[in-house]
Amino acid sequence: MRLIILHCGIMCLFLSSVPRSHYNKKLVYRDATYEEEIRTVQLYPNTGNPQDVFEPPVAPIGQNTLYLEFDDLVEAHEEYRVRIIHCNADWRPSRLKNLDYLYDFNEFNINTFEYSVDTKIGYVHYSFRLPRVKLPGNYLLVAYRGSDAKDIILSKRFMIYTRDVGIGVTSNLTGVTSLNRSRQQIDFEVSYGNYEILDPLAFFSVTIRQNQRWDNAITNLKPRFVREAEGILEYRFFNNENGFGGGNEYRFFDLRSFRFPGQNVGRVDLNTYPSTTYLMIDQPRVYQAYAQYDDINGDYYIQNTDTGNGKVQSDYMNIKFTLDTDGPLYGDVYLVGKMNNYDRTAQNKMVYNKKSDSYEGEMILKQGFYNYQYIVKSDTLDMNYLEGNHFETENDYEVLAYYRPMNLGADLLVGYTRVTLNSRN
């Protein structure tokens, strides 16, 4: 018998003797989990700095600092393995063979694990340091059970880059002179010098991400001007091809302590199974003036200040969210953040309650500090309708430059940079 968590309108816990490998699974080439028990998946460059967990899963070629962590809400150790897939800029698998981009056989054991301690919901915490790869590019990490590569438990994107081209951001990063006070535009130049690029309009492309998000990333961006004699590609546009809605600073709640809950936590009920946390009621911010405060750009971190050990002593809780809108919206409302990969799925969709004139949702999360926001899927409303768009918002941007050499037939990540718009530092 093993502990299984399934989604039944709300999260419910019950015992099942059905092996989890019996579930039908289809690999998707994005960040995803394939079983309800697999939780709190984090992939980041682990260099020993406590701030590493906020860093994107990006590393220069030749380093093996990327580190995977996740929990399995089953109180028994499982044999898990990892394989790695090289992908093109569009995150479709490239035609490269395993030996083209790996030094070892493409099957790696996850050998490091710990059992949870003194938690109401038992789990096993797994960790794994990724191997080095030979080539730069997009990669998909796929973890699976035992020797059955089809019995997938999670997939996670990561990127390995070289500095064959330079990327210089030329935008006014303060945003003060923006003509559109709700958007942020990233202008930049790519200098390729002696690095040979044939037909950049056909074989060179750029992706821009905001706050490590893939759901609103700008992809396959082509240069507006090619200054071949100088070896420069210009990316300056006038129709928002490289612009993002500024959004707002993320909402947050602090649940690092059950004994002394932090900001935006209404109350904690420890008598339920799992324990239940009721957050303070949220309000739409679309008509509110911009208010500056520090956030972590949609991220989260696991911490338990009651005991001091966040990895294996942080418990899982059912978190209740309420958004008071004074009536239904013309569209669907989703609760998103890095905690759920910004997925707009049925599990993350808020349900409108006519009695309270509010949207309600819930999510099983591990004890810690979380950023989140509400986004709208609608034919008439902007995605950030409930949060507002402000050019003053602090956002982190990544620019990824891809080139497909003629002799390789696969996209390589030949340039990478990060900039912070409206940095508070």
Give residue 425's pLDDT band: very low, low, confident or very high (50, 70, 90).
confident
Domain range annotation of the chain: 23-161, 166-246+392-421, 251-377
Question: pLDDT at position 1, please?
Answer: 38
In this predicted model, which residue has the larger pLDDT, 206 or 309?
A: 206
- Give the tens place of pLDDT for each residue, 97-151: 999 999 999 999 999 999 999 999 999 999 999 999 999 999 999 999 999 999 9
Cα dihedral angle (27, 32, 34, 35), rounded to 10 degrees?
Answer: 170
Contact by Cβ (8 Å): 294, 424: yes
The strand ranges marked E within 192-254 are 204-210, 218-221, 225-227, 232-235, 243-245, 251-254
Average pLDDT of the chain?
A: 91
Task: Look at residue 16 and tell me whether its pLDDT is greater than 90.
Answer: no
Neighbours of 202 (CB within 10 A): 9
Task: Look at residue 415 and tell me whether its pLDDT is greater than 90.
Answer: yes
Q: Is 175 left (phi over 0), alpha (psi -120 to 50) or beta?
A: left
**Cα distance between residue 390 and residue 411, in whole Å:** 35
Question: pLDDT at position 80, please?
Answer: 98
Question: What amino acid is encoded at 277 in this protein?
Answer: T
CATH of domain 251-377: 2.60.40
- Give the tens place of pLDDT for each residue, 311-349: 999 999 999 999 999 899 999 999 999 999 999 999 999
Question: pLDDT at position 129, please?
Answer: 97
Task: Look at residue 13 and tell me whether its pLDDT is greater than 50.
Answer: no
Task: Look at residue 265 and tell me whether its pLDDT is greater than 80.
Answer: yes
Give residue 24's pLDDT band: very low, low, confident or very high (50, 70, 90).
confident
49-54 own/partner pairs: CB under 8 Å, 24+ apart: 53/299, 53/301, 54/296, 54/297, 54/299, 54/301
Token pair belonging to 361: 């949702």
What is the pairing mode between strands 58-60 and 152-161? parallel
399-405 average pLDDT score: 98
**Cα distance between residue 325 and residue 284, in whole Å:** 7
Contact by Cβ (8 Å): 129, 66: yes
Contact by Cβ (8 Å): 329, 381: yes
Task: Look at residue 195 and tell me whether its pLDDT is greater than 70.
Answer: yes
Q: Output phi, psi for 68, to 5 deg.
A: -105, 135
Question: pLDDT at position 90, please?
Answer: 98
Give residue 310's pLDDT band: very low, low, confident or very high (50, 70, 90).
confident
- Give the tens place of pLDDT for each residue, 54-103: 999 999 999 879 999 999 999 899 999 999 999 999 999 999 999 999 99
| Identical topology for domains 23-161 and 166-246+392-421 | yes
Residues 6+ apart with CB under 8 A from 233: 189, 190, 191, 192, 200, 204, 223, 225, 226, 227
DSSP 385: T
Token pair belonging to 39: 């939780």
Task: Look at residue 7 and tell me whether its pLDDT is greater than 50.
Answer: no
Question: pLDDT at position 50, please?
Answer: 86
Give residue 370's pLDDT band: very low, low, confident or very high (50, 70, 90).
very high
CATH of domain 166-246+392-421: 2.60.40
Question: pLDDT at position 18, please?
Answer: 45
**Cα distance between residue 290 and residue 164, in whole Å:** 40
Task: Look at residue 160 and tell me whether its pLDDT is greater than 80.
Answer: yes
Give residue 419's pLDDT band: very low, low, confident or very high (50, 70, 90).
very high
Question: pLDDT at position 307, please?
Answer: 86
Alpha-carbon distances, residue 211 vs 54, 138, 146, 204, 275 (angstroms) = 10, 18, 34, 23, 31
Give residue 21's pLDDT band: very low, low, confident or very high (50, 70, 90).
low
**Cα distance between residue 395 and residue 423, in whole Å:** 8
CA 336 from centre of chain:
10
In this structure, which CATH number among 2.60.40, 2.130.10, 1.25.10, 3.40.50 belongs to the domain 23-161? 2.60.40
Alpha-carbon distances, residue 277 vs 270, 273, 356 (angstroms) = 8, 11, 19
Indicate if the alpha-carbon torsion angle 18, 22, 26, 32 is positive or negative. Answer: positive
**Cα distance between residue 186 and residue 422, in whole Å:** 12
405-420 average pLDDT score: 96
